[in-house]
Each structure stands twice: as structure tokens, then as C-alpha cells.
Amino acid sequence: MDCLFCKIGNGEINSYKIYEDDIVFAFLDINPKSAGHTLIIPKKHYLDLDDIDIDTLTHIMKVAKTLKIKITEILKCDGLALTQNNGLIQEVKHFHLHLIPFYQNKKDKTLEEVYNLLK
């Protein structure tokens, strides 16, 4: 399989990893919509919301809750959106959940700066 997110999850491709356990891998988006834009992916390949099992989905949401608290406290964002795309709007065909911080006053930080704060 030639899946970008599978390669990131198994360490074949470097990433700005901020969380990992046996089931999921979370890393900073390399084209962030805002400082701290994070992706949570299951290590096992699932195409989309129709494909993923409920236990893995529940685990991803638990990790999202933990990371939301961490991102909010450390980066001082004013809100955070959770987004999950399916079908034609899904850029990488591997289930992933976006955590996208919102800032009332724009916070410009490089990926490296954000990574060093969150790792």
C-alpha cells in the first residue's frame, strides 16, 4: 500500500509527532490552517468514517479530547474545530481527524516553534 499516512504512522516518513500510542499517531499538519493544526490518524489503515470501527473511532475522540486540552493550554487558542472529511474532499484517503485551533488575534508561529511547545 502506498498510503502517505500509513508511512507517517509507521515511521517511514518523518513528522512533527506530538502523540503516539498503540492505536493512533498525532502530528502537526505541514500545511497548517493555524498554529497547532494537528492530525490524528489510526495506525491501521481505514479509508474513511464508513470504514473505521467504533472502538478505534472512540479512541481517536478520547485522544482528541486530551490533545484539545493540551493545545488550548499551551498555545492559548480561543477555540478549536474538529474536522473529518470523506469522499472527494478527503485529500489523503486514510481516516484522519483535524484539530484546528482558532485565534481571535492571529498567532504566527513556525511548525518548529509549535512542535517544540507541544512535544
Q: Which residues belong to the active site?
A: 96
Which amino acid appears at position 8 of this protein?
A: I
Distances (CA, A) of 7 to 42, 65, 102, 108: 12, 25, 29, 29
Residue 18's closest CA among 4, 31, 7, 29? Answer: 29
3-state class (DSSP) for residue 22:
coil
Q: What type of residue is 17?
A: K
